[in-house]
Structure 1
């Protein structure tokens, strides 16, 4: 299970209020897209879900229990800038998370454990279409292939929650469309909840099962320190999209983004 409950969460930095009174329930295996103007706290909210930031007030629960105070393998993350290690091969990049988790001192597995990890890593690379590139280094990959690698890194740890911070924004439109199809399939096949920050409205309505808008209700210069952003709209996609539906991976089923948001 991977349900999230965000209950009256505030985030303040000194006298500046970034987020105020944010409450939302995210059901198990949902795909939620967070949209809104730049600087309205979407990435801060994502960092709180990851554990890199703590709420000033309120609480975040995962499956009814308080969110662990530090990032862990239950939450994977993919950023816009490719979070890959240039000195490691594709296979080495995907293996590293498992090695650091199981053997934090040596970052190396041996025997049957290493064999099992290699099998899992190669299976994940096959899922993202990189099975023929496992001996290459990131510099030898295109931008789209590097982002596939970043997804494989995160998914090998079998996270309950996958967090995406504008992960496809730097890709060319054609490559991005291919990655969208891949992302739908990965959500369809892996038991996880996805929360994605994006500035691309079409991307939000193409991928997500819910689109959530963050905005500041008061945005005049003299008000920006005193009033934070909060959730102003929460739009379920119709017809409903649910992980496990075969139609999720068919891009021709997705219509244009609704107007007016």
Structure 2
């Protein structure tokens, strides 16, 4: 059974069609990268997977059941801008998700439960490479380290699906390369299913096992919002990665000429 099943899915805001007739199945363990023009609905699609947005019509299933209508622990997300709490230490930021899940009324654990939460949070910080900064505050961290913290926050609850919304777009090239290796390592070790939005084609092919291209197939200048984006290409990357990258480079050079 597929982890995510989507059939004839539409997303509309009144007369504005954002996504139309989306059909896709995502299997457990896949790393899907999403590319396409700005405003074509990639982030809306990601928010639907998270539970922040609901579909207008169609079939939208998680493990064969209707998709939860709000965010849950089975889905984690990392944004381009770091979603960390500045008044909490690095360790406290990661512990927060565990504490809220374990004590919804107080939002805080005590005694042995807190000690276990701290141990688990430290293990997560170790896995993303910032355990030495556990007592620091986010403002004391570099951009790359803050993004590592965001990833630790998202993974500490052991989600089945990790959603990435251009998480490395604001990072310098060298740091970005390190983050690529980190996310691939975490994906393999944690048996994650990842869906990632990016504007970088090279990044999408380097990281993903499957590339989904979103774009509008139909358009009408008189009614610009009457049609939404579809998945125009669904490309399994695998061993074809280098070949496809070379073809993309050739097409870009040809367009410039």
Off by >6 Å, runs of 4+ in structure 1 = none
Cα distance in 2 between the residues matched to 1:108 and 1:240: 49
Equivalent in the alignment of 1:209: 209
Is it true that 1:237 corresponds to 2:232 in the alignment? no
TM-score (norm. length: structure 1): 0.91
Is it true that 1:113 corresponds to 2:113 in the alignment? yes
Give the superposition deviation at 1:220. Answer: 4.9
Specify whether residues 132 and 258 from structure 1 end up closer, same or farther in structure 2 by C-alpha distance, changes over 3 A only: farther
Cα distance in 1 between the residues matched to 2:246 and 2:85: 36
Q: How does 1:39-188 map to 2 (within 5 A)?
A: 39-188=39-188
Is contact 1:54-1:69 (8 Å) kept? yes
Q: How does 1:18-33 map to 2 (within 5 A)?
A: 18-33=18-33
Deviations 1:119-161 (A, max 9, x none): 1100010000001000000000000000000000000010010
The structure that is helix-richer by fraction is 2
Give the superposition deviation at 1:111. Answer: 1.7
Give the superposition deviation at 1:60. Answer: 1.5
Q: How does 1:188-227 map to 2 (within 5 A)?
A: 188-227=188-227
Cα distance in 1 between the residues matched to 2:16 and 2:65: 29
Cα distance in 1 between the residues matched to 2:6 and 2:13: 19
SS in 2 for 1:211: strand
Cα distance in 2 between the residues matched to 1:42 and 1:104: 32
Cα distance in 1 between the residues matched to 2:168 and 2:57: 32
Give the superposition deviation at 1:223. Answer: 3.7
Cα distance in 2 between the residues matched to 1:118 and 1:136: 15
State the superposition RMSD in angstroms.
1.9
Which range is displaced more, 54-63 or 15-24? 54-63
SS in 2 for 1:222: coil
Give the superposition deviation at 1:222. Answer: 2.7
Is contact 1:2-1:193 (8 Å) kept? no
TM-score (norm. length: structure 2): 0.93
Which range is displaced more, 217-226 or 44-53? 217-226
Cα distance in 2 between the residues matched to 1:18 and 1:255: 28
Unaligned runs of 5+ in 1: 242-252
Cα distance in 2 between the residues matched to 1:96 and 1:36: 35
Cα distance in 1 between the residues matched to 2:240 and 2:90: 36
Is contact 1:205-1:257 (8 Å) kept? no
